[in-house]
Structure 1
Amino acid sequence: MAMILCAAILSYYWPVLVYANQLTFFQLLVLALIEVVAFHQMMTRLVAYRVEHYTNPITSALHLLGALLPTWVISVAILTSFAPDVLRSPGWLLVWHILQVLLLVVGRLVQRVLIGMANRQRLLRRRVVIVGANELAEQLIPELSGVTHGGYDILGVVRSTGDDTAVDRVAGVPVLGDLETLNSISLNETIDIVVIALPWSRAQEMFHLMEAVNWIAADVVIPFGRDQVAPSYAGLTQMGRTTTLQVMSRPFKGSQGVLKVAEDYVVASVAVLLLSPLMLMAAIAIRLEGPGPILFRQWRPGFGRKPFAIYKFRTMHVNPNDDATIGTTGRSDPRITRVGAVLRRLSIDELPQIFNVLRGEMSIVGPRPYVANMLVGNERFSDLVAKYAERHRIKPGLTGYAQANGMRSYALRSAENARRSIEMDLHYMTHWSLWLDIKIMFKTLVSGLAGRNVF
């Protein structure tokens, strides 16, 4: 995108021979921005930004050509409609587009060198766990091990139900155990891809495995065997020479992840600067009211179910026997202190979680981090809602889509509300955008911090 804009500026300030630009600078800028958007959309549709495509010169050239030609057609159509006179001397347009091609090719060559350096440092390799100690895994492992660009590090194989327990290695890769072992691995290792290597004749077992791994923040794929034809209408992805069906995608991957992290640190840093006086006043009020710690610190499951210590201002009387599995019952809850009631009504008790964001344990916007065994009525929240575990595929948030839409205190009041709040969390994960986060933060500030539903 920068190369296209740079080519436009060069063609304007550096006319070649008699090919001076016929557009004003503003006209050229508008046209260049249209080309940027069109080019990016075409490259995205061609899946041209995958790492392995940069390392193949022919594929890279075809992607550039496939994106540039429609972009140029759009550009000429716009000029024909709004500025037909400038096309009578189209030499400048030809020069501009030649500069585009040269700069884009140079950019791809530079990126190819950088990717080569990253590959030598093993920075782009994806960490894989294969579920299924069987013939399909035996075929897949050599293919993944032979991928040179990007490549895969196979952490191990995990047995599925029905696999031979006597098998301890598959294609030279150790069998680590069963699904419980996978849970332990995911808590201690970063997993990029989970491969469910089962034949499609065992589809019912596949669905069970998909539910069993739905909380792991990784891509989940199912490979097609060599004798099977992959349908063209499905969400397919390549792993080496093997075609796989991608049934789950890791949230906030790539540029989205960078943008989300940048948002968290910028917003949290500004919040600390602006709210420090208020947090100091809250700390003094808690200390003056009576004995006990100022901060309430509690372990909760976070990203990938990894436990983290969440920070809040203490709003309840100290009770070592209270495991917090029962949420606040209302404003008249006898456990709440007088100062705590005010802090909770104004949501000031939540402010220390800003430091959880700066520590990388939470996000400004995300699913609410509930206590591990939180109860809704007499039933555990995690047992009540089938897709509860999927919330752990992203970091928990200081606020969230459900909380901004009235589910902050009501989510634990009934089974129906609990299910609705999880639906909202999953909707947020699949429809995320920076603009959605901004709307959630604004709605939280306007109506979510206080009111009759906040206690």
Structure 2
Amino acid sequence: MVTRGDGGPADGIDDGAGREATGQARVTATRTVQGRRFTSNVIPSLVFTVDLLCLVVSVPVAVILYTLVFRQEVVPGVHTAAGFIAAIAFFLIRQSRGVYSQSFSVLQSGDTAVAVDYLMSALLSSAVVWQFGLVDEFSRGLTLAYVGSVTTTLFVSRFVLRAALRRLADSGRIRQRVVLYGADKDTVERTCRMLDLQALPQLLLVGIADDYSRSETRDPVGNLPFIGGFPELLAMAREGQVDQVLIALSDMTRERIELIIEKLSEVAIDVSLIPREAIALAPDYRVNFVGQIPVLTLWQRQMRDGNTIVKDVEDFVIATLALVFLSPLLLATALAIKLTSRGPVIFKQPRFGFNNREILVWKFRSMYTDRQDVTGAARTTKGDPRVTPVGRWIRKLSIDELPQLWNVLRGEMSIVGPRPHATHMKVGDHYYFDAVRGYAARHRVKPGITGLAQVRGLRGEIQTIERAKRRVELDRYYIDHWSLGLDLRIMVETVVNLAFDKNAY
């Protein structure tokens, strides 16, 4: 073995054509399997073939059912064209989902959405038939028989195919034999843990290869032995004992990687690279493509495109209706504030808004004018002498927050979202944004009048770092899992909790 160099040929990479590994440095990749063996790359083709068979086999099934039930002969005509259109639409939908470009992972989740995909295709085909005015020639009975047959066979096929593929994988008929090359012990351990969590029976890690003189690299990791350096790896590949090599980039130079790929390209195996970030950041990323460039996406906006339209419509409709129906309450509150204490009815306070931009949040004034703290540095406590008698009631019932409906109509806030914090708000002796790591991520969406944290008991004063962290965790969960249904549920819980919340004062 040679010591780590600058990445050139001196790093111990040669073709190793006639070189035999000795002792435990050589590993038999898999037990001998009689007959032909396939790699996991065949699985997407099998999935496509099964889908096609389901569509074809359902034709005679539907015809027989239709003939037995309605006792009429089938006239192909428009039905053949409709079935063909539905089939094309179905395969396009499946391809857009990446079903035919993935392997065992699709079948692990059950892929029961396959039936829904065909129903969508059938609806599209029926719309085409209706558009061309061929409804009179279209047998609804035959159509229902065929669609029912296809969706049933597709749904059942997933369970049968998954069981069959697992058996083939366990027997070694379908198996991807993989070697990790150039990985340090920590990378190997983390990679193995990630693969174990996914439970991929068609994947078999057969060993570790490395040309560096690190003693810990030669030690087995779990059941993975050290097979040797690049020459031993190349010899195994030539003998057909390896299907894929995963190269851990770690601190390899470009020259070294190019040389490794050049040598491995001489044999019939798959060669893949594991970016160092793919292990270090796992599982907090998704692999996407910018053009043909693969990228690791660490953050992705949940509220985007159509979701932003839904959110804006929701805010506008609910804010408008609330202002109309609550106008008597708003007027009565404004009158009570004006008659019981000096000063303006509305209190405006700078707070953090969308993308950390500062906005002026409107509230009914609940404190004496000469005791207000616009910065928010002084927390409001239970029995706070700054709060007026009317202010105690409107704070208890959250009526003081209702003027923020105007902020919603202005596009500065949402009905539901993370609560906007004052710019100098503190938890303990620290500013909120310094006390809680990742705090600023809660500003990736518009702040809300109410939010998930508020209906989970974290409304009002936050006295400890632990509660502050929990509030931020809930805010970030809301952002990452936003849906219209979640918003409606939070609104309902807000109304229910108003009468029972002891943290509002």
TM-score by length of 1: 0.52
Assess, with a 3 A threshold, how the Cα gap between structure 1 residues 257 and 41 changes in structure 2: closer, same or farther: farther
- 1:329 maps to 381
CA RMSD of aligned residues (A): 4.2
1:431 equivalenced with 2:481 (yes/no): yes
- 1:306 maps to 357
- What CA distance in whole angstroms lies between the structure 2 residues aligned with 1:269 and 1:422? 29
Match of 2:490 among 434, 440, 455: 440
Q: Name the SS of the counterpart of 2:288 in structure 1.
A: strand
- What CA distance in whole angstroms lies between the structure 2 residues aligned with 1:255 and 1:45? 19
The answer to whether the 8 A contact 2:93-2:117 is kept is no
- What CA distance in whole angstroms lies between the structure 1 residues aligned with 2:146 and 2:337? 71
1:451 equivalenced with 2:501 (yes/no): yes
- 1:400 maps to 451
The answer to whether the 8 A contact 1:343-1:349 is kept is yes
The answer to whether the 8 A contact 1:251-1:393 is kept is no
Q: What letter is aligned with 2:445?
A: I
- What CA distance in whole angstroms lies between the structure 1 residues aligned with 2:117 and 2:411? 42
Match of 1:344 among 382, 386, 395: 395
1:278-331: per-residue Cα shift (whole Å, max 9, x none)? 00000011111122010000111100011111000000011377332122111x
Q: Name the SS of the counterpart of 1:408 in structure 2.
A: coil
- 2:423 maps to 372
- What CA distance in whole angstroms lies between the structure 1 residues aligned with 2:389 and 2:423? 27
**Shift of residue 383 of structure 1?**
1.1
TM-score by length of 2: 0.47
**Shift of residue 448 of structure 1?**
3.4
The answer to whether the 8 A contact 1:325-1:374 is kept is yes
- 2:460 maps to 409
Q: Name the SS of the counterpart of 1:329 in structure 2.
A: coil
Assess, with a 3 A threshold, how the Cα gap between structure 1 residues 435 and 69 changes in structure 2: closer, same or farther: closer
The answer to whether the 8 A contact 1:21-1:92 is kept is no
Q: What letter is aligned with 2:443?
A: H
- 1:296 maps to 347
- What CA distance in whole angstroms lies between the structure 1 residues aligned with 2:336 and 2:274? 68
Choose between structure 1 and 2 for higher RCO, CA contacts under 8 A separated by at least 6 residues.
2
Q: Name the SS of the counterpart of 2:370 in structure 1.
A: coil
- 1:185 maps to none
- What CA distance in whole angstroms lies between the structure 2 residues aligned with 1:263 and 1:44? 30
- What CA distance in whole angstroms lies between the structure 1 residues aligned with 2:469 and 2:490? 20
1:127-146: per-residue Cα shift (whole Å, max 9, x none)? xxxxxxxxxxxxxxxxxxxx
**Shift of residue 424 of structure 1?**
0.8
Q: What letter is aligned with 2:501?
A: G
- 1:71 maps to 118
- What CA distance in whole angstroms lies between the structure 1 residues aligned with 2:120 and 2:402? 53
The answer to whether the 8 A contact 2:288-2:294 is kept is yes
Assess, with a 3 A threshold, how the Cα gap between structure 1 residues 268 and 384 changes in structure 2: closer, same or farther: same
Moved beyond 3 Å, runs of 4+: 17-22, 38-44, 67-70, 72-76, 86-95, 199-202, 227-234, 448-451
1:256 equivalenced with 2:303 (yes/no): no
- What CA distance in whole angstroms lies between the structure 2 residues aligned with 1:93 and 1:71? 14
**Shift of residue 43 of structure 1?**
7.1
Q: What letter is aligned with 1:327?
A: R
Match of 1:279 among 327, 330, 336: 330
Q: What letter is aligned with 2:366?
A: T
Assess, with a 3 A threshold, how the Cα gap between structure 1 residues 257 and 314 changes in structure 2: closer, same or farther: same
Between 227-236 and 427-436, report the one with greater CA deviation. Answer: 227-236
Assess, with a 3 A threshold, how the Cα gap between structure 1 residues 68 and 414 changes in structure 2: closer, same or farther: closer
**Shift of residue 395 of structure 1?**
0.6
Assess, with a 3 A threshold, how the Cα gap between structure 1 residues 20 and 389 changes in structure 2: closer, same or farther: same
**Shift of residue 244 of structure 1?**
1.1
- 1:319 maps to 370
- 1:235 maps to 286
**Shift of residue 243 of structure 1?**
1.7
**What is the total number of aligned residue pairs between the two structures?**
271
- What CA distance in whole angstroms lies between the structure 1 residues aligned with 2:140 and 2:321? 53
Q: Name the SS of the counterpart of 2:380 in structure 1.
A: coil
Identity of aligned residues (%): 38
Q: Name the SS of the counterpart of 1:354 in structure 2.
A: helix
- What CA distance in whole angstroms lies between the structure 2 residues aligned with 1:280 and 1:417? 36
Q: Name the SS of the counterpart of 2:324 in structure 1.
A: helix
Q: Name the SS of the counterpart of 1:435 in structure 2.
A: helix
- What CA distance in whole angstroms lies between the structure 2 residues aligned with 1:352 and 1:69? 45
Assess, with a 3 A threshold, how the Cα gap between structure 1 residues 92 and 289 changes in structure 2: closer, same or farther: closer
Unaligned runs of 5+ in 1: 1-16, 23-34, 48-66, 77-85, 96-198, 203-226
Q: Name the SS of the counterpart of 1:406 in structure 2.
A: coil
Unaligned runs of 5+ in 2: 1-73, 80-86, 100-113, 124-137, 148-248, 253-271
The answer to whether the 8 A contact 2:315-2:414 is kept is yes
1:389-408: per-residue Cα shift (whole Å, max 9, x none)? 10011110000000011111
**Shift of residue 45 of structure 1?**
2.6
- What CA distance in whole angstroms lies between the structure 1 residues aligned with 2:305 and 2:405? 24
